Amino acid sequence: MTAIDAPAPVPARQRRGFLARLLGSEYFVLWLTVGYFLVLLPFLPTLGTPANLVNLLSNMWPLLVVAIGQTFVMAVAGIDLSQGAVMALTSTLAAALLATGADPAVLAKAPIWGVLLSERGGLLDGRGGVGLALGLGLAVLAAVAVGLMNGIAVARFRMPPFMVTLVAMMIAGAFAIWLTQSENIRNLPEQFIALGKGDIVSVYFGARTESQLPRREVYPLVTYPAIVAIIVAVLAHWLLERTVFGRQVIAVGANRRAAEISGVPVVRVLILAFALSALFAAIGGLLYAARLEAGRPTLGSGTFLLDVIGATVIGGTSLFGGKARVIWTVFGVAFFVLLSNSLNLMNLSSFHVDMVKGAVILGAALLDVARTRLTRQALP
Amino acid sequence: MSALLTLEGLGKDWFGVPAVEGLTLSIAPGEVLGLIGENGAGKSTLMNMIGGVVPPTRGRMLWEGQPYAPASAADATAEGVAFIHQELNLFGNLSIAENILIDGFPRRMGLIDRRAMARATEALMARLDLDLSPDRPVGTLVAGEKQLVEIAKALHRRARLIIFDEPTTSLTTREIERLFSLIDRLRAEGTAMIYISHILGDVVRVADRVAVLRDGSLVGEGPVDDFPVPRMIHSMIGRELADVFPPRRIAPPDAPPVLEVEGLSAPGVIEDVSLTVREGEVVGLFGLMGAGRSELARILFGLDPAERGRVRLGGQALHGGPRERIAAGMGFVTENRREEGLMMDASVRDNLALAALGQFAAGPLGLVDREKVGAAAQAMQQDLRIKAADLARQPVRSLSGGNQQKVVLGKWLLSRPHLLILDEPTRGVDVGARAEIYAIVNRLAEEGCGVLMISSELDELKGMCDRIAVMRGGEITGERSRAGGYRDADLVALAFGEQAAA
């Protein structure tokens, strides 16, 4: 039951050729990403500049964290549409609790004014590291509560995940907006903002001529979001591949009835999968908030969900459950971030960008069908 | 009287194995042919050939003397063949009229002519004495009325041969009487009918002629008067016991009980079931489809609730769902391995390990020891002779039916059960793998595991079991032991509820 070498293809026969083997490869999306980058590079030299590469990475980390959450839900044949709203809720709550001050002209009308937040800052402001941890923890807890409710509705009441999380998206999203009357909460404490930056290892390209390096030519390579995302990815990978819980997640997605008869605690696994999805969305939301230096109640709305689901599916995780790997999602996110970035560099309007992205998701879905068929045919 | 449908040497192979062989039979207009046989005797295959669902491998069919080779179910319908299935093919959300006229609504100026629909439906319903509004949604009707709607549909399509497949299983006595008088009327109108049923008394009541299938061949045929129920039973069964059953040490009668069931009831499903399985004993559960055998198994395994009664395993009362039962030492090989037994796209190894995951895990976080899993899967593969190339990568979907079933068995063997429930363990399994599965079960019993084996095949049960309990209508109607000798007629009579002497 330790499918580290994946539930996927039996080695295709040699005569099936290069294309078939490429399509069937575990690392197909990685090759696709690299290929796309190399093909585009001559036409779009900015793609390969250090500044852009660093930008690509910084775009990747928070999205990766959220998409890993989605991977768990898809692994149990679910979908989580509420991730964006959960991010908004988390970022708003955390900001409200931790802000060092607030402008009454902007926020005095908000229901949290005077309760969680006032002119002198949030409820937990000025209590040092403990306050910060408590604030972030409470916000994450609220997110996990949403995830648990999603999971209970799906597992216990057998409601369709699409409906449940759509409703959760509406309610949690609207609640976050109501909390601040749609205003962003600024004045986040320094330590919080540092979470979005933190150039722990930076690189400088060029000759060392002056003792002082020009600031804008120093590129942060290893940042806090990178560390958080990598830790999350490694833990999630380990959880999904190596633990009993992870194997049960895959089993529930592959065949719920067979899993139940084989003694898998289906209800618990489902609830936990949705809770994990919300947890990872919350972590992603905090990373975004730190980067934006504000708690934003409209975070994760719009086409953000398209990015998350698109990246996860492109990675190779099946919408029908039972087929999911964290490493696939890493590749999917990398491809998706590269795609968005390259489209932006082409100076396309956001409408065009979304249209192309949609087309790429469609293409990925078709490829997935082709891959599945191919691997089935390749069987003895 | 010239025949409506004639079958000449009809045969059908499934993967090289004949399911129907050398069948020659004819049916005349205004005649009701009762078709009987055990489960798997070839009735469904035969009907599917007549209905255009599958083409015959050998032989031919004639329709009024002309060659008849329907390429699809639609072809057969167009020719005038109609099926009344056990599972009715109706749309519950549509009205009676819509269901009857679904393949061609009357239209006026491109729109559906509701009035013409109602008229056509009412005329048909009057013929059937069905006094309902044509606008009633079919979902609101009772079983008997639904069946009449199905028959009305057949009449609307001017069916000349109507095939009834177990039509009375979900009907009340009064509905059955109404169906029979309708069949009589249709016969008088010249409609030919094939009536398939396990309820032999009904066949006697309704059929003019009887045809008996066994192992895909016609083993008896004649006027119904020549076929009293005992002769029907005798014709249906009584094949030689093949040598596929390896000899086995009989369980000592004083072995301690593993499974004790007392007065187990679930309304409408099973009624007051009591049963004991001892260590090392293989107990069979015989009965017809729908007799409550699989339902009993599901309740024993905690998948469905029981209202009354007790289940004990090794002296311990059982509560909770499958998880608790597995922990207590139960295993359950379900009858449909695709839906309930296997993760078809997952690897053989992952499937094997599923029920015993806890065994391979260590530490508070439940880290699975992959080497242990791999070794256990490999040992199980050798033990059960599972033919798979790559345990870690090959999905079970790619295995043959017999090997898939071995994977299901292996999954439960890894959890070291004290009681293993097998529901139709050899369904869709070829003869070779069958013998291997029997050997596995025997070995398991010799190691002290109790086995409860559900099967519709009497030979299998006779060859394997120390005792056979027979179920009918959710109740255990009798139990026979190997020591007392098994008589087919006796067991079948218990299953059919007929008083028949062999």
| pLDDT confidence tier of residue A282, bands split at 50, 70 and 90 | very high
- Phi, psi (degrees; rounded to nearest 5) at A12: -65, 150
Task: Say yes or no: B362 contacts chain A, CB-CB below 8 A.
Answer: no
State phi, psi for A313 to the nearest 5 degrees.
-70, -40
Lowest-confidence segment of A159-163, A313-317, B117-121, B166-170 by average pLDDT: B166-170
Q: Is A287 within 8 Å of A62 (Cβ atoms)?
A: yes
Taking residue A233's Cβ as centre, other Cβ atoms within 10 Å add up to 21
**The predicted structure's pLDDT at residue B501:** 41
Q: Higher pLDDT residue, A202 or A36?
A: A36
Residue B240: the pLDDT is 43
* A63 shares contact with chain B (CB less than 8 Å): no
Least CB–CB distance from B361: residue in A6, A9, A244: A244
Give pLDDT, residue B39: 63
Query: How many CA atoms within 13 Å lie on the side-chain side of B446?
Result: 11
User: Which of these, A1, A9, A151, lies nearest to A69 by C-alpha position?
Assistant: A151
A130 lies in a domain? yes
The answer, for B498 touching chain A at a CB cutoff of 8 Å, is no
Residue B93: the pLDDT is 87
Tens digits of pLDDT across chain B (502 residues): 578 999 999 998 876 677 888 899 999 999 999 998 876 678 888 988 998 888 898 999 999 989 999 988 888 988 899 988 766 678 888 888 888 888 778 888 888 888 888 888 888 888 888 888 888 898 888 878 888 888 888 888 889 999 998 887 767 777 888 889 999 999 999 999 999 987 788 899 999 999 998 888 898 899 999 988 878 877 876 544 445 677 777 777 788 999 999 999 999 889 999 999 999 999 999 987 778 899 999 999 999 999 999 999 999 999 889 999 999 999 999 988 888 999 998 999 999 999 999 889 888 888 999 899 999 999 999 999 888 888 988 889 888 778 899 999 999 999 999 999 999 898 767 666 778 899 999 999 999 999 999 988 788 898 899 999 999 989 999 999 988 888 888 888 888 876 544 3
Interchain contact B363–A (C-beta under 8 A): no
Give the domain CATH number at A273: 1.10.3470
Which residue does chain A place closest to B300, by CA atoms?
A261
Asked if the C-beta of B102 comes within 8 angstroms of chain A's C-beta atoms, the answer is no
Q: How far is B41 from chain A (nearest CA, A)?
A: 29
Tokens describing residue A290? 């730190």
pLDDT at residue A205 is higher than 90: no
Q: Tokens representing B323?
A: 């998880």
Q: Is the residue at A123 inside a domain? A: yes
Chain B: nearest CA to A9, how far in angstroms? 7
Written in H, E and C, the secondary structure of B25-60 is: EEECCCCEEEEEECCCCCHHHHHHHHCCCCCCCEEE
CB contact under 8 A, B357 and A247: yes
Question: Is A1 domain-assigned?
Answer: no
Domain membership flag for residue A17:
no
Enumerate residues 6+ apart whose C-beta is below 8 A from B386. B348, B380, B399, B403, B406, B407, B410
pLDDT, greater one: B292 or A249: A249
Q: Quick one: pLDDT at residue A171?
A: 96
User: So what's the pLDDT on residue B210?
Assistant: 94
CB contact under 8 A, B389 and A380: yes
3-state secondary structure of A190: helix
Largest Cα–Cα distance of chain A, in whole Å? 72
C-alpha to C-alpha distance for B63 and B138, rounded to whole angstroms = 33
Task: Note whether residue A94 is domain-resident.
Answer: yes
What is the structure's pLDDT at B393?
Answer: 86
A234 to A54, A136, A200, A239: CA distances (angstroms) = 21, 22, 20, 8
- Decide if A220 touches B, using CB distance below 8 A: no
The C-alpha atoms of residue A57 and residue A329 are separated, in whole angstroms, by 15
Query: What SS3 class is residue B472?
Result: strand
Q: How confident is the model at residue A8 (pLDDT cuts 50, 70, 90)?
A: very low
The rounded distance, in Å, linking the Cα atoms of B43 and A359 is: 51
Q: Is the pLDDT of residue A378 over 70?
A: no
Q: What structural domains does chain B harbor?
A: 5-237 (3.40.50.300), 243-329+417-502 (3.40.50.300), 344-416 (no CATH)
* Whether B332 contacts chain A with CB within 8 A: yes
CB contact under 8 A, B366 and A257: no
**pLDDT for res B452:** 97
Q: Is B73 within 8 Å of chain A by CB? A: no
Q: Is A258 on the interface with B (CB under 8 A)?
A: yes
Give the DSSP H/E element, type plus range, for residue A256.
helix A256-261
Chain A residues touching residue B367 (CB < 8 angstroms)? 242-243
Pairing of strands B32-37, B209-214: parallel
Within 10 angstroms of residue A236's Cβ, the number of other Cβ atoms is 22
Instruction: With 0.80 as the threshold, say if the pTM is over it.
Output: no
CB proximity A260 to B under 8 Å? yes
Burial class (CB in 10 A: 0-12, 13-18, 19+), B130: buried
Of all residues in chain A, the one with the smallest CA distance to B373 is A1
> Which residue in this structure is represented by tokens 């696939």?
A328
Q: By the CB < 8 Å criterion, does A254 face chain B?
A: yes
DSSP letters, B380-439, are HHHHHT---S-TTT-BGGGS-HHHHHHHHHHHHHHT--SEEEEESTTTT--HHHHHHHHH
Beta strands in B109-216 (DSSP E): 111-112, 161-165, 192-196, 209-214
Closest CB from A3, A10, A11 relative to B350: A3
* Cβ contact B342–A258 (<8 Å): yes
A348-361 pLDDT tens trace: 888 888 888 888 87
Contact B347 A255 (CB under 8 A): no
Average pLDDT of chain A is 87
Flag whether pLDDT at A11 surpasses 60: no
Q: Count of A–B CB contacts within 8 Å?
A: 121
Domain count, chain A: 1
Q: Is residue A362 part of a domain?
A: yes
In a domain, A162, yes or no: yes
Within 8 A of A380 by CB-CB distance, chain B residues are 389, 394, 398
Tell me which residue range forms the domain holding A191.
Answer: 27-206+214-378
A6 is a domain residue: no
Across B113-241, the runs of DSSP E, i.e. the strands, are 161-165, 192-196, 209-214, 217-223
Q: Could A243 and B340 be called an inter-chain contact, meaning their C-beta atoms sit closer than 8 Å?
A: no
- CA B466 from chain centre, in angstroms, equals 24
Minimum mean pLDDT range among A52-61, A95-104, A216-225: A216-225
Report the share of chain B in percent with pLDDT over 70: 94
Contact yes or no for A290/A188 (Cβ under 8 A): yes
Burial A36-48 (b: 16+ CB within 10 A, else e): bbeebeeeeeebe
* Displacement of CA B47 from its chain's centroid (Å): 15
Query: For A13-43, what is each residue's pLDDT tens digit?
Result: 444 567 767 777 778 889 889 999 999 999 9
Task: Compute the distance between CA of residue A365 and CA of residue B2 in angstroms, rounded to an integer.
Answer: 58
